[in-house]
Amino acid sequence: MSATPAATAGVAIAGLGTTSLGRVFGTSPRRLAADAVRAAVADAGLALTDLDGLLICPGITGGLDIGLAGQLGLRDLALLAVVNSFGASAAVAVQTAAMAVTSGAARAVACVFADTPLREGAPAGSAFGSHGDGSSVASASHGDGAGSAGASGTNAATRQERHGLAGLAAGYGFRSVTGYYALAAMRHMQAFGTTSEQLGAIAVAQRQWAAGNPLAQFRDPITLADHQRSRWVAEPLHLLDCSLVSNGAIAVIVTSARAARDGPRPPVHILGAGQGHPGGQMSRGSQFGLATGAAQAGRAAMAMARVTPADITMCQIYDCYTYTVLVTLEDYGFCGKGEGGPFVASGALAPGGSLPVNTGGGQLSAYYMWGFTPLSEAVIQARGDGGDRQCDANDLILVSGNGGILAHHGTLILSPNPPPRSPNPPPHSPNPPARPTTRTSRTQSAPTARVPVDTPGASAPGAQPTPARPTPAERAPVLPDMGVVRADERSEPFFAAAGRGELLIKRCPRCAAWLGPSATSCPACGEDAPLEWARASGTGTLATWAIVHSRGGEAVAVPALVELAEGPWLSTGLSLAMPDGREAGAGEMATLSAGQALSVAFARSPGGECYPVFCPLRSPDDAGDGRPAAAGRGDLGGT
């Protein structure tokens, strides 16, 4: 979504309200939200009765809705709505409020976020559940051994019963949003040579900024070595690559620049705003992990503000993970695509660098209030209220928000100065040369994989296939980390076929498009085109993978995205044990690479269903030797 240059003209943020943040217990999101709105109204020099708009951004806890207006005693509102683009909600809400003020639909609009995912005595990571659904951002605690995305370990998984295709995905290792971001990060690493050490440079820089932020939950310095020693959550992401978890609330007041100038605090002018929601299917040609909606949102916001990336003096980037910072900076054009690793490792983002980023410590070190974390720090910096961390380069501040699994993006351009009068916007180059930095780039070595992957029933290279084989259900290896998988009504054909050694996915009978097994309709033909189960080739290529670890450090699953020969991407898994229980060779995982040929094999859960896994296709004979990988020939309609 973009708007004309007039959409935010003459609009500013006049007030900022923040409750206590972090391990705040004994209260509710609604109460926190009300406190934040009252604080923001007072900061703007207004009364609650001056508000005629309220935009509410809930977190994952629930209990925050338009009933907040009643709790605040607001009456005769001209604008009242819930805004939920997940981590992009802050930018979307501010843009909506700015357009309302500019159009005359409202005069003063409060935008507020509140959440209480932390529970006293519970691990921070448990706040986001064990199976992410893409609607929220998973996090990890940096203290007390609590993390978010690590699997619970073999014993817990064995006891867990999983149902249908969603349960199967969880068994594969798709158990939290961190797992999905690990897949995205791995794909970027495979495509561009990005390293774990380069991601670590982001965490170290933001902790340096957090040292000057009295509100930051973590202020003690860390080194790159500390980052590398922190436990794996889902490789290639360490614990220190993941954001923390916080309770609290933040609100801002959006009003006209003229009204803001009459208030007690310096106005923060909104020069530009834009959104990007890429959409699209996970199928052949997907840019998952390589590009995000920041490219579209950034172009729109910068065009509205009549600036280019070279004009931006500071960034407050949504940082649910270090990887998110890197790929977002690339998509905004602060460096070329694929050049993010060397750019962030150069010291450019840290105190003294050429592009200050997340000057309060961000969500990695300060506090996790979704998109209101970067928004609040931008207001603080624009006003000159940063104290020990205040940066002089606050003329043009870019604020980003990222929601879901790189699915939604919002961008704001803020400034302590009103917009200059310029008849024409300058051209925007999406990928200008990387900025000069104040430090010398370091050279990082590529991370080494640590966990083997199996090829169930695989023969040694060059070996002749064994002619006689038992049925797929009899020969399938038992994978105890999967738990017990049960079919439900929708998935029964899928699991029944797996028991026969066949891989089924969906196909549209009208347009003959191939779709994933969980698809319920054809995007091209609509809801009224019933899909049919169809046998797939069972071969494909590896798009990306991750390695999920328990909190104790054990590698428990290898979720993978596989591009099938028919086109769709399949959320699946690579197993960690040979059919006879022996561990595969130590170098097996290190040989995996994006684009590698794979074929399907079949495993079974203890007392449950057979299900597909994928393994490297070592030779032309592998797909046709009668092994579990042999679900590869059948009626494919000429595919």
Backbone angles phi, psi at 284, to 5 degrees: -50, 130
Distances (CA, A) of 181 to 138, 541, 559: 9, 20, 12
Rounded to whole angstroms, the Cα distance separating 516 from 501 reads 18
Is 180 catalytic? The answer is no
Tell me the two tokens of residue 538: 């069972």
Handedness of CA 473, 476, 478, 483 (dihedral sign): negative
Of the candidates 1, 15, 13, which has an alpha carbon nearest to the alpha carbon of residue 271? Answer: 13
Helix axes 322-332, 177-192, angle to 10 degrees: 50
Pairing of strands 161-163, 484-486: parallel
Catalytic residue among 181, 323, 368, 611: 368
**Is 367 considered catalytic here?**
no
Q: Tell me the sheet residues that pair with 486.
A: 163
Is residue 141 classed as helix, strand or coil in its secondary structure? coil
| Beta-bridge partners for 237 | 234
CB 111 within 8 A of CB 81: no
- State how far the Cα of 223 lies from the Cα of 195, in Å rounded to an integer: 16
- Nearest of 57, 30, 31, 52 to residue 41 by alpha carbon: 52
Q: What is the DSSP letter of 88?
A: G
Residue 402, burial from CB neighbour count under 10 angstroms (0-12, 13-18, 19+): buried
Q: Where are the alpha helices (DSSP H) in 6-144?
A: 29-43, 68-72, 89-103
CA distance 216 to 602: 48
Q: Catalytic residue, from 181, 318, 323, 367: name it.
A: 318
Ranges assigned E (strand) in 244-373: 248-256, 268-276, 314-316
Measured between alpha carbons, how far is 552 from 158 in angstroms, rounded to an integer?
Answer: 16
| Burial (0-12, 13-18, 19+ Cβ within 10 Å), 310 | middle
What tokens appear for 588 in the block? 């097996």
Q: Which helix (H) or strand (E) holds 598?
A: strand 597-604
The set of catalytic residues is: 318, 368
